[in-house]
Amino acid sequence: MPVNLPSPKKADLLAVSGIKLGLSSAGIKTVGKEDLVLIELVEGTVTSAVYTQNAFCAAPVILAKQHQQQTSPRYLLINSGNANAGTGEEGMQAAQACCQTVADLTASRSNTVLPFSTGVIGQQLPVEKIQTALPDAVKNLRKDNWFNAAHAIMTTDIVAKAVSKKIELDGRVITITGMAKGSGMIRPNMATMLSYIATDADVEQSVLDAILHNAMEQSFNRITVDGDTSTNDACVLMATAKAGNARISNIDSESAQKIAAVIDEISQQLAHAIVRDGEGATKFIEINIEQGHDDEECRQVAYTIAHSPLVKTALFASDPNWGRILAAVGRSGIKDFDLSKVAIYLGDVCIVDGGEPAETYSEEQGQHVMDKEEITIRVELGRGQARDTVWTCDFSYDYVKINAEYRT
């Protein structure tokens, strides 16, 4: 079960003026399951997006990038159950056909539609099923559909992931609502699995781009479940300008910083939810690397620990086998590493001091920390002032089972 992750409540998810969401069932993987989401953006909405850096990026990713460069998006089309990745030219034609159907149903242009897919890689997209289901999604467009949409984009997720917040700018109430899906194949590289965040604030394009980039770097780009970057990762930030605030045109302004802080918070909550719902996860792990030469070095050490199957399985077993953490730090690739300056902590318990086993450490202390559902691993490198944080989870029996049976 997810680690301390409650399901969102429908009443807590706030409508964003200028955004409507419609959904329907195309039966892509499971007959009767809502697996198709259409998001309508009011004309004038400013949109910023980031996408996977996987070289085998999916057809919808390629097409979404092209469309976004050509014009302002009016619709986002999301399907679960099929990734439309590794599908060649036929996959591109399928994504384009779905965009064209949306355009025909909404009297818009196909390049104003951004397509997104998630699910099994290497299978052709069932275009006819999606085209048949799309009229219902259009009819179902409502501003209060965030809760249902968050469930419709799920694949192996156990819990839907969505959150809303309000702030005040220029005497106007600003609403920000976001949703995400993701559970496995998680090590985002410029994006998460799929995430959509909307606000009714009036924000200039360059400022929105900066806000999204900064939010990504401190949230979705600091999580990993299994070290696998998806072919379909994407994150979209939308600003409809319907709240009536003075247009935010300077990233250093008080208004920009205020809304950026909330978007940072929402992004981090969604990112943490993905890790807490990691396939079969039983523990939520925060890895803090301190006193590094630079940020990149800190991330290098953090991800080496986070991706170690031996560390992750020891965490699942609640086994204070700290030698696995030490070994991961040692093989992280740091040059000119002075081990005599290294300290490693499990929670507040020092396990390595000056590169050697801490004299104060006892197995009982380590066990007390490892028995918890939420654990912090901290490493002091003794090389500088840089620091960084990565969030991950353990590997359980269920992770193997879920991924072994993914297509059955």
pLDDT digits (tens, 9 = 90+) for 197-222: 999 999 999 999 999 999 999 999 99
Q: Which pLDDT tens digit goes with each residue over 98-121?
A: 999 999 999 999 999 999 999 999
Distance CA 336, CA 342 (A): 13
Distance CA 353, CA 359 (A): 8
Distance CA 322, CA 377 (A): 10
Average pLDDT over residues 369-384: 98
The tokens for 49 are: 């997006």
The predicted pLDDT at position 193 comes to 83
pLDDT at 36 over 90: yes
Q: What is the pTM of this model?
A: 0.95
- Among residues 329, 397, 401, 320, the alpha carbon closest in space to that of 363 is found at 320
47 annotated active-site: no
Distance CA 308, CA 394 (A): 10
The residues that bridge with 39 in the sheet, in sequence order, are 21, 76
pLDDT at 316 over 80: yes
* Catalytically annotated residue among 118, 192, 199, 229: 192
The predicted pLDDT at position 201 comes to 98
For 200-236, b where at least 16 C-beta lie within 10 A, e where not — what string?
bbbbbeebbbbbbeebbeebbbbbbbbeebbbbbbbb
Q: 10-276 maps to which CATH number? A: 3.60.70.12
pLDDT at 251 over 80: yes
The predicted pLDDT at position 199 comes to 98
The three-point CA angle 354-355-356 to 5° equals 90
The tokens for 107 are: 């009297």
**What ranges do the domains of the chain cover?**
10-276, 284-404
pLDDT confidence band for 228 (50 / 70 / 90): confident
Domain 284-404 has what CATH class?
alpha beta
Q: Which pLDDT tens digit goes with each residue over 338-369?
A: 999 999 999 999 999 999 999 999 999 999 99
For 122-138, b where at least 16 C-beta lie within 10 A, e where not — what string?
ebebbbebbbebbebbb
Average pLDDT over residues 275-292: 96
The predicted pLDDT at position 405 comes to 85
Kindly tell me the burial class for residue 23, based on how many C-beta atoms sit within 10 Å of its own C-beta (0-12, 13-18, 19 or more): buried
Supply the DSSP symbol for 105: H
pLDDT at 186 over 90: no
Mean per-residue pLDDT of the chain? 96
